[in-house]
A and B are shown apart, each in its own frame.
Chain A
Amino acid sequence: MSSPKQYNFVVSKEDWSLHRKGYQDQQRHQEKVREVIRQNLPDLVTEENIIMSDGKQIIKVPLRNLEEYRFIHNFQKQQHVGQGDGDSQVGDVLGQDSPKSSKGGKAGDQPGHDYVETEISMEDLEEMLFDELELPFIQDKDKEELESEAIRFNDIRKKGLMSNIDKKRTILENLRRNATSGQPGIHGISPDDLRYKTWEEIVVPRSNAVILAMMDTSGSMGAFEKYCARSFFFWMTRFLRHQYEKVDIVFLAHHTEAKEVTEEEFFTRGESGGTICSSVYQKALDIIDSRYPPSSYNIYPFHFSDGDNLTSDNERCLRLIGELLKRCNMFGYGEVNQYNRGSTLMSAYRNIKQEKFIHYVIKEKGEVYNALKRFFHKREGGAAS
């Protein structure tokens, strides 16, 4: 350099593209975040503001395990030094209970109070949850119903319809031919240069499913029972919508007799009186026979109840479930039973030894998740209780 004295320094610029440590550890952190969310799934599944929403929101998940805990001073109970514009007065209010604005108040490192939760979108949550679930007993339905035709341009040929000519490729061919003959440029397009797009017919599987959501709305079903059933149906519907192009849901409420109701009525209306479960099973059979031929529908009847039933009705129930099982992919029975009493229905259903009949007893909110996993788990054999 023009500098007379040699100074001791080096300027260099290395190739840092292989230095990925930051990204690797960032990924490890994100894995840990997902782990935490996965651990929280049982709680998230029954999170009220998810179930009651349209399902398009961002959910906040606390990340207690990922806080970097250490011994620190209590920020809230401490005095801090700050700096004003030149006219600060004793008594000036700097802010309302938001320590964040004064975070940098101390010339030290403030602990990260701000990273206690992470956000997860509904899609990510679904993806994570449904990753653990699988549709059992899928059956091939009528071909016409299952398949539809579509076309897709995916090939280039030398012969074809003029209207499907691929101009770009034709020009490219022309360029190539001219270049090899020593006269580069675009000129003299010959029929040999022409290229055509062609298509193929593809088959998109198309299938339908119907959920028969049945619930006991008799007096014995309280808010807790209904909420559990509701969260279950919420996720089940979403799960099936992932799997099938079209999912119908039929809501059937029953006490001593069954009727088809709207979704809102299903979850809100409470009736009094006793319970005869066979009524709703009969109704379900009628609806299947009249509207959803098993030859073209995957049918998933699910019944939620608190387990109370007229004892003399049990036998009829068993027979009707047998009928339903002939028509359906599976039959799910969920019992919401906070206190783990022995229930009339369970005592009868325990003896059904059919792998397509699956039951689960929910004792607390967090078990809705377990119920989902039981009904839709990746299975090999039958469903033992």
Chain B
Amino acid sequence: MNYTHAELEFAISEIMEIADSFGLDYYPMRYEICPADIIYTFGAYGMPTRFSHWSFGKTFNKMKMQYDFGLSKIYELVINSNPCYAFLLEGNSLIQNKLIVAHVLAHCDFFKNNFRFSATNRDMIESMSATAERINSYELAYGADTVEAFIDHVLAIQEHVDPQLIKPMRYDKRQQLEEKRRRIREEHKHPAKPGIYDDLWSLDTSPEAASPDTTSLTAFPSEPEKDLVWFIQEYSESLEDWQRDILSMLREEMLYFWPQMETKIMNEGWASYWHQRIIRELDLTSEETIEFAKLNSSVVQPSQQSLNPYYLGLKIFEDIERRWDHPTEEQQRRFGRIPGQGREKMFEVRELDSDISFLRSYLSKELVQDLDLYIFEKQGPEWKITDKTWEHIRDQLVASRVNGGSPYIVVQDGDYLRSGELLLKHQYEGLELDLKYLEHTLPHVYHLWGRPVHLETVVEDKRALFSYDGQKHQRKILS
């Protein structure tokens, strides 16, 4: 270490002072200096206290190997919590740490203020630690192999939760769903006595809607359910209590990570923007300036044929700042934009947007051209650039961020074929599923549901049904 503890502390208060003057709003910070293997452990697990599973070990091994071979390096890791924990790589130089301290402050500001994070548990470090302990106790009670195999199944569907914020997740979903079913059943059994003015209502309804909706009476769930993990946890008949408990704990963890998945570009862009602005305010020696420039460029450099989220996010934020600082006359006239409001606009965006709306609203034609973005796809054996229309590029980027990049799958029927089988439906919007992965994932769902499972999707423009009954796979073309 080429700096003292006091030097680092002094640098941090200096940086916080500058960050405060810019209006960044963050939680109390806990900086922890740790060796590389610890940083990589946290990177692989997403959280220092997360439960044990071989798949994390696999990721850790891969990441650590890349580090050992000098292929990649994580300088920092920051946790969405209050207080906010940031882990600095032991061996960072003082100027590297200054950049990182500034960078994580902006991340923390983002965690604290972006709307998507408003429902996240800020005590997740403790919660995950409790989860890990509980899983550990289940291992002792039911055997490590049994628990591990069960977690394998859960991880296979972990992305399929419902992260909607509008419908408060604290509300008991099962109660809500059953209440609704009960009401429909009631109404069906005892239709309200016709009042004398009821014929007035029927003037509004179209003829075909007049017959009572019997499908919603029997349908289970009454409307397609996005939260597959929750649905299985509540309604699978083959699970024991400890298994439901694990499902519910892992679902909580996924809901905690979800906002980070859907704001990756914004969050990294925001942090990169601010570390640059903050470091510019510091008095640096010329050596430090060069070292800073080196690290900064390695963080935000565009990479060949791929999109660096740090770079893309940074460029969009800079573009927002420029456009709102210097609106064109037309923008001033039509939208009433007043020059010099760049920063203000940026803070608004960091509060209200996620990657999808961020890209859709602020990735402009000029930026797409400036960044030389393009669409590529596979044609025969070759990967080719096929489109440079800026709207298509923007829409493609947006599409790739829908549902965190995972296919959107819902529970269509929890009593399929009237025999308790599970029918899932892929909400196809032009992106096909990987069929090999699909056929390997269905058995995991089967193990959780305990009855045959089916998934409807679209293959080559035809509706197709994939089934697994515990023994064998079946594919059926439906239309």
Contact = CB atoms under 8 A, between A and B. Distances in A.
A10 B400 contact: no
B275 to A, nearest CB: 16
Interface stretch (A76-84, A260-268, A348-356): A76-84
Interface string B42-79: 00110010001111111011101000000000000000
Given A9-B16, A79-B375, A102-B376, A67 B396 contact: no
B23 interface: no
A44 to B, nearest CB: 22
Given A25-B57, A69-B156, A81-B374, A5 B38 contact: no
A179 to B, nearest CB: 37
A65 B44 CA distance: 20
Interface string A139-158: 00000000000000000000
Given A26-B61, A74-B435, A81-B307, A105 B376 contact: yes
A239 B168 CA distance: 65
B185 to A, nearest CB: 33
Contacts of B17: 3, 5, 7
A97 B35 CA distance: 39
A98 B355 CA distance: 28
A105 B382 CA distance: 15
B426 A71 contact: yes
B404 interface: yes
Given A70-B156, A83-B307, A108-B401, A22 B9 contact: no
Given A1-B10, A1-B13, A83-B371, A106 B405 contact: yes
- Kindly name the residue among B14, B45, B58, B393 whose own CB sees the greatest number of chain A CB atoms within 10 A: B58
Given A79-B386, A87-B372, A94-B385, A12 B377 contact: no
B155 interface: yes
A79 B426 contact: no
B437 interface: yes
Interface in B401-446: 401, 404-407, 409, 426, 431-435, 437-438, 440-441, 444
A13 B33 contact: yes
Nearest to B368: A81
B306 A82 contact: yes
Contact of B441 (A70, A90, A101): A70
Nearest to B309: A107
Interface in A60-77: 64, 66-77
A22 B376 contact: no
A108 B400 contact: yes
A95 interface: yes
A80 B401 contact: no
A30 B58 CA distance: 8
A16 B87 CA distance: 12
B52 A97 contact: no
Contacts of A246: none
B28 A8 contact: yes
Interface in A12-52: 12-14, 16, 19, 21-30, 32
A10 B31 contact: yes
- Kindly name the residue among B6, B60, B159, B261 whose own CB sees the greatest number of chain A CB atoms within 10 A: B60
A182 interface: no
- Kindly name the residue among A23, A92, A94, A97 whose own CB sees the greatest number of chain B CB atoms within 10 A: A94
A50 B443 CA distance: 34
A29 B61 CA distance: 9
A27 B263 CA distance: 33
B382 A96 contact: yes
Given A94-B384, A97-B383, A11 B5 contact: yes
B353 interface: no
B37 interface: yes
A2 B31 CA distance: 19
A111 interface: yes
A81 B10 contact: no
B41 A22 contact: yes
Contact of B434 (A75, A83, A102): A75
B55 A29 contact: yes
A21 B52 contact: yes
A73 B431 contact: yes
Contacts of A103: 306
A232 B86 CA distance: 58
A84 B55 contact: no
B12 interface: yes
Contacts of A102: 305-306, 376, 383
B40 interface: yes
A94 B401 contact: no
B60 A73 contact: no
A10 B37 contact: no
A71 B437 contact: yes
Given A9-B16, A88-B385, A107 B434 contact: no
B53 A25 contact: yes
B373 interface: yes
B441 A71 contact: yes
A89 interface: yes
B473 interface: no
B141 interface: no
9 contacts: A5-B17, A9-B12, A22-B45, A29-B61, A73-B433, A83-B303, A96-B383, A99-B383, A111-B434
Given A5-B13, A19-B38, A32-B54, 4 more contacts: A2-B10, A22-B44, A71-B159, A97-B382
Interface of B: 5-6, 8-10, 12-14, 16-17, 28-35, 37-38, 40-41, 44-45, 48, 52-58, 60-62, 64, 83, 90, 155-160, 261, 264-265, 302-309, 312, 355, 371-378, 381-388, 393, 396-397, 400-401, 404-407, 409, 426, 431-435, 437-438, 440-441, 444, 455
Nearest first, the 6 A-B pairs at minimum CB distance are A25-B57, A108-B405, A22-B41, A104-B306, A26-B57, A69-B440
